[in-house]
Amino acid sequence: MFELILYEPEIPPNTGNVMRLAANSGARLHLIEPLGFSLDDRLLRRAGLDYREWADVQVHASLAACLDGLGQRRVFAVSTRGARCYTDLSYQSGDAFLFGPETRGLPDAVLQSLPAGQRLFLPMRPGNRSLNLSNSVAILIYEAWRQQAFAGAQRS
């Protein structure tokens, strides 16, 4: 199982999409306050459909509280300012992936608190600002899960 951490998410449909992704991939979702919306938000419910009841979602008052609760896990920050491509690593069950808010990304202090090798980026074409948050989460969690041979997945 992997841990997905959304630091101060702002856009309800993105978080709803990530909730649905967490439920379908077996990841646990951590939301760091303040949130830019209520968990009862109509747009969050619409994007997450009925997956909220199946997703393991925890809300934390701070990133420090979240990380304390996770214990000694490897934490990877995902940012356009990352130093290492997300495909250059071997992920382990229990790894945590930290994503910043949609309009401003992770604060420098948070990003710099992790070693350069744990600050990841997703390749993009030059001149573009960033990928959508829920798309970025999907790309990364499926790569990490693929490396685990999709453990726990139902094969159809």
Please name which of 31, 34, 8 lies closest in space to residue 18, comparing C-alpha atoms: 31
Please name which of 5, 41, 50 lies closest in space to residue 23, comparing C-alpha atoms: 50
Flag whether 59 is marked binding: no
Give residue for tokens 């199946």: 54
Flag whether 48 is marked binding: no
Flag whether 18 is marked binding: no
Flag whether 63 is marked binding: no
Q: Name the binding residues for S-adenosyl-L-methionine.
A: 78, 100, 122, 130
Q: Name the binding residues.
A: 78, 100, 122, 130
